[in-house]
Amino acid sequence: MHVSIIQPTVRRLGRVSSSRTVRGRTLVIIAAALAVAACSGDSTSPKADVEVDGPAVSVGNGTAQSFVMQNDNVVTSVGIKLSDGALDGLPADMSEWKLAMPNGASAPPWDHMTLDWNPHGHEPAPIYGVPHFDFHFYMIPGAEQAAIAGGPDSTPVESQFIPRDYASQVISVPGMGVHWADTLSAEFHGTPFTRTFIYGFYQGQMVFVEPMVTRDFLASHPDVSSSVKQAESYQTRGSYPTSYSVRYDASQHATYIELDSLAVR
């Protein structure tokens, strides 16, 4: 803590003895010194978050891996990290990589993640028909994810579990579920798609959340953060993101796609 000692303005009312003046200045100096000492004794620098990485898998000419940020063993965010080379040398066909959570890390409701590469985009093509990644964060075990069937899924979702302004795309994608999109998202209102946030349900249950980000946007070395619209309540207790970020860290030569500002719901 920095303390500036400001000499008070003194109006002279008659004669003031030199001894009183010296005594007054001494008291000011002592008081300032005590304030500095008190601040020094109370101040503690906040601990920095510690990154814990999951096992890396080969993606393109680089790697991808999960990570969690912890502070005093409390998880503050979860995400997926792509090394610089991961954006080049990618397959010509749609591909998926499974990413395990870091060993020993527990961050309910998140069980595992997948990285899905869409070299030609996907439906609806006028909106999402550009090369992009789907970053899936699953709340269910891998075996349950693999058992998700494709086709129409008209199972109703109770209104309190639906995030504000989100609507179902009805069709379940095999191994994923039904994607729900924000009807007010910029890409539905004349702005080219660069990134968006998706919720996923299957047979009435929320099973994943998903930032979708174009390859070109990732390659631009962004540093952005956006709020995440919330449901009134959640079916599975855990820490849910109130924002997500896409940021490039030059010191790590990596891009981070991160669910942050976690709140227990």
Of residues 148, 153, 128, 124, the one with CA closest to residue 138: 148
Q: Are residues 108 and 210 in the same domain?
A: yes
Q: Are residues 136 and 213 in the same domain?
A: yes
Of residues 194, 78, 181, the one with CA closest to residue 138: 78
Q: Are residues 232 and 135 in the same domain?
A: yes
Residue at which a domain ends, from 44, 59, 77: 44
Averaged pLDDT, 67-88? 96
Dump pLDDT digits (tens) for 40-70: 445 566 788 999 999 999 999 999 999 999 9
Across all residues in the chain, what is the average pLDDT? Answer: 88
Dump pLDDT digits (tens) for 6-31: 333 333 333 344 444 444 454 444 44
Q: In a 3-state reduction of DSSP, which class is residue 74?
A: strand
- 175 band by pLDDT with thresholds 50, 70 and 90: very high
Entry pTM: 0.83
Q: Are residues 26 and 115 in the same domain?
A: no
pLDDT, residue 12, reads 35
Q: In a 3-state reduction of DSSP, which class is residue 83?
A: strand
Dump pLDDT digits (tens) for 202-226: 999 999 999 999 999 999 999 999 9
Q: Are residues 60 and 31 in the same domain?
A: no
What is the full DSSP assignment across 103-159? TT--BTTB-EEEEEEETT--SSHHHH-SSEEEEEEESS-HHHHHTPPPEE------G
How far is the CA of 133 from the CAs of 53, 97, 115, 214, in angstroms? 20, 11, 7, 6
Averaged pLDDT, 114-123? 97
Question: Is it the case that residue 265 has pLDDT exceeding 90?
Answer: yes
Beta-bridge partners for 75: 70
Q: Are 83 and 61 in contact (CB under 8 A)?
A: no
**Can you point out the beta strands (E) in the chain?**
50-53, 57-59, 62-71, 74-83, 95-100, 112-118, 132-138, 151-152, 166-173, 177-182, 195-202, 205-214, 223-227, 239-249, 254-264
Segment among 40-54, 81-95, 177-191 with least mean pLDDT: 40-54
Averaged pLDDT, 174-192? 98
How far is the CA of 114 from the CAs of 86, 97, 163, in angstroms? 14, 6, 22
How many domains does the chain contain in total? 2
Q: Are residues 104 and 204 in the same domain?
A: yes
Averaged pLDDT, 119-139? 97
Q: Are residues 161 and 128 in the same domain?
A: yes
Segment among 14-18, 24-28, 183-187, 190-194 with least mean pLDDT: 14-18
Instruction: For residue 215, give its domain range.
Output: 50-264
Listed in sequence order, the residues at least 6 apart from 97 whose beta carbon sits closer than 8 Å to its beta carbon are 57, 59, 64, 114, 115
Tokens of 144: 């349950």
